């Protein structure tokens, strides 16, 4: 009885989460059913979930094309999820309503929970050859089995409005945290009467601090990212101290967009597209956003994120590795693979890259002469200092964590103040205790690497300076 009640409750929560989704492909004759299987017309229906909105129009057109042209009688229904994607995925698997194909935004957790099916057996030798130099342990593979393949990487930059900077008398984007604080204050002083503010980040979710701070931290030190020190194999959140203080100062100065503490990323983008924000930090999906989702005439560009002292001691993190995977419980794995193979085709991935929806990590795509031409993409193209970091146990550790997560704890400091050293000490203590539990449970095989130096990761994505 209890089990039945739990499933019913989870199903109700899943229905609520789906009601909050922003779009679906609308291509399935039975899309209202929300389940995979065989349609009345004899087609095999595949459900695909993604949280990506910046490329939704492009992917919808490609899925329509697949549905109309594939010879295997497969029909794919795409659902674009909201910001509650991680929770929706967990609920869907718990209630046996998970999609056949899903975006893998948390590889280690999905693997540990048994969400993903290995795809080695479906891949041709030719396809394995295409991806063999791009696979990363704990991001694509575990114990020699492949679960997901890379497609693009998120290259992170400071996105800024060139005309607003010029109006405030700022000649170039900030290179240091101090300059970022000062520039945000200048912009606000000049533009506040017109509703223009210097800085914003989507602090409604815990990703607000993470988006603003993580790339800065990775570039400012050479030992880690996500609060994890690869050299010692321990968490050390001191790497965020200067960044948290800078964000706190911008808040105290009144340089942040009012209401930023309850702002999501899309409303932030809408405000930027209207010329109300001087700068923010986000990834290489932005050119697609300002082309399709929030078309803008604002004169904007992207620049390297500032660092603590203006020098890059480590590397600017490129987030990439996993993309999509097949539900381990899907009854239609063969059909799901046919769709997955189509999405990973060089033709589709090349077009995706050329239209500026993401920076490809696939050598066969990067080696072509064609480059993205979408406005704004030039600032996101990989430079020497951009790099993909090895997997770290941050996400797995959080599953054993007691108390507030690190990004949330820093966000609270940004808006309420307090003893930052005590915040950092508490995070170090709790995260390292959780790490020990994670290791004891056999949930991670990641250990200390005394020779680690993230500056040595530079130059693998581009030889440009």
Token representation of residue 385: 């200092």
Q: Which residue's structure tokens are 């054993």?
A: 400
- CB neighbourhood size of 172 (10 A): 11
The rounded distance, in Å, linking the Cα atoms of 459 and 213 is: 22
CA 201 to chain centre: 15
What is the predicted pLDDT for the residue at 22? 47
Q: Domain 2-149+322-360, what architecture?
A: 3-Layer(aba) Sandwich (3.40)
Q: Which of 237, 246, 225 is nearest to 309 (CA)?
A: 246
The rounded distance, in Å, linking the Cα atoms of 299 and 317 is: 26
The region that residue 434 occupies, defined by phi over 0 for left and psi between -120 and 50 for alpha, beta otherwise, is alpha
What is the predicted pLDDT for the residue at 371? 79
What is the predicted pLDDT for the residue at 461? 77
Distance separating the N- and C-terminal Cα atoms of the chain: 63
Which DSSP string corresponds to 384-408? TTEEPPPP-SHHHHHTT--S--HHH
User: Which residues on neighbouring strands pair with residue 50, listed in sequence order?
Assistant: 80
**Of 3.40.630.10, 1.20.1070.10, 3.40.50.261, 3.40.190.10, which CATH number belongs to 155-318+390-457?**
3.40.190.10
The rounded distance, in Å, linking the Cα atoms of 115 and 327 is: 6
The rounded distance, in Å, linking the Cα atoms of 344 and 150 is: 9
What is the predicted pLDDT for the residue at 95? 95
The rounded distance, in Å, linking the Cα atoms of 270 and 215 is: 23
* Residue-level length of the chain: 465
| The two domains 2-149+322-360 and 155-318+390-457 share their CATH topology (first three levels equal) | yes
Token representation of residue 143: 């114990």
Domain ranges for the chain, please list them.
2-149+322-360, 155-318+390-457
Q: What is the pLDDT along the chain (465 residues), one digit of tens a residue?
A: 434 434 444 444 455 445 445 444 444 433 333 466 665 468 999 999 999 887 899 999 999 999 999 999 999 999 999 878 989 999 999 999 999 999 998 898 899 899 999 999 999 999 999 888 788 888 899 989 999 999 888 899 999 999 999 999 999 999 999 999 999 999 999 999 999 999 999 999 878 999 999 999 999 999 999 999 999 999 999 999 999 999 999 999 999 999 999 999 999 999 999 999 999 999 998 998 998 889 999 999 999 999 999 999 999 999 877 899 999 999 999 999 999 999 999 999 999 988 878 888 887 887 777 778 888 999 998 899 998 898 899 888 888 899 999 999 999 999 999 999 999 999 999 999 999 999 998 888 889 999 999 999 998 777 566
Q: What are phi and psi of 217, to 5 degrees?
A: -60, -45
What is the predicted pLDDT for the residue at 35? 60
Q: Which residue's structure tokens are 């951009």?
A: 386
Q: What are phi and psi of 83, to 5 degrees?
A: -70, -10
């Amino acid at each position: 009885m209890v089990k039945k009640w739990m499933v019913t409750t989870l199903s109700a929560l899943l229905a609520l989460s789906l009601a909050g989704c922003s779009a679906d492909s609308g291509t399935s004759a039975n899309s209202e059913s929300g389940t995979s299987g065989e349609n009345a017309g004899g087609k095999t229906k595949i459900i695909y979930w993604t949280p990506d909105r910046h490329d939704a129009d492009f992917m919808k057109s490609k899925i329509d094309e697949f549905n109309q042209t594939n010879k295997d009688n497969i029909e794919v229904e795409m659902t674009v999820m909201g910001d509650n994607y991680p929770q929706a995925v967990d609920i869907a698997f718990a209630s046996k309503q998970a999609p056949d194909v899903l975006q893998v935004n948390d590889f280690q957790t999905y693997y540990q929970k048994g969400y993903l099916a290995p795809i080695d057996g479906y891949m041709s030798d030719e396809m394995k050859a295409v991806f063999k130099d791009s696979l990363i342990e704990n991001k694509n593979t575990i114990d020699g089995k492949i679960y997901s393949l890379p497609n693009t990487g998120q290259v992170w930059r400071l996105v800024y409005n060139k005309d607003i900077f010029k109006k405030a008398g700022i000649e170039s984007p900030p290179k240091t945290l101090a300059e970022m604080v000062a520039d945000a204050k200048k912009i606000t002083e000049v533009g506040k009467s017109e509703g223009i503010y210097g800085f914003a980040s989507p602090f409604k979710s815990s990703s607000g601090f993470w988006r603003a701070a993580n790339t800065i931290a990775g570039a400012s030190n050479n030992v880690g990212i996500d609060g994890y020190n690869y050299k010692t194999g321990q968490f050390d959140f001191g790497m965020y101290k200067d960044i948290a203080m800078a964000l706190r100062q911008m808040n105290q100065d009144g340089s942040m967009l009012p209401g930023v503490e309850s702002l999501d990323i899309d409303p932030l983008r809408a405000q930027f597209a209207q010329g109300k924000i001087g700068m923010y930090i986000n990834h290489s999906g932005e050119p697609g956003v300002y082309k399709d989702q929030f078309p803008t005439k604002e004169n904007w560009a992207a620049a390297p994120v500032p660092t603590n002292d203006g020098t890059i001691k480590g590397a600017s993190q490129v987030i990439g590795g996993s993309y999509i995977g097949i539900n381990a419980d899907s009854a239609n794995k063969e059909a799901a693979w046919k769709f997955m193979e189509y999405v990973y085709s060089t033709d589709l991935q090349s077009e995706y890259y050329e239209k500026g929806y993401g920076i490809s990590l696939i050598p066969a795509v990067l080696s072509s002469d064609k480059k993205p031409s979408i406005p704004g993409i030039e600032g996101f193209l990989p430079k020497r200092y951009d790099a993909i970091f090895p997997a770290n146990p941050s996400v797995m550790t959080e599953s054993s964590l007691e108390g507030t997560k690190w990004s949330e704890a820093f966000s609270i400091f940004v808006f309420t103040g307090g003893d930052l050293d005590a915040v950092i000490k508490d995070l170090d203590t709790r995260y390292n205790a959780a790490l020990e539990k994670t290791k004891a449970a056999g949930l991670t095989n990641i250990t200390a690497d005394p020779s680690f130096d993230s500056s040595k990761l530079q130059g693998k994505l581009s030889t440009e300076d």
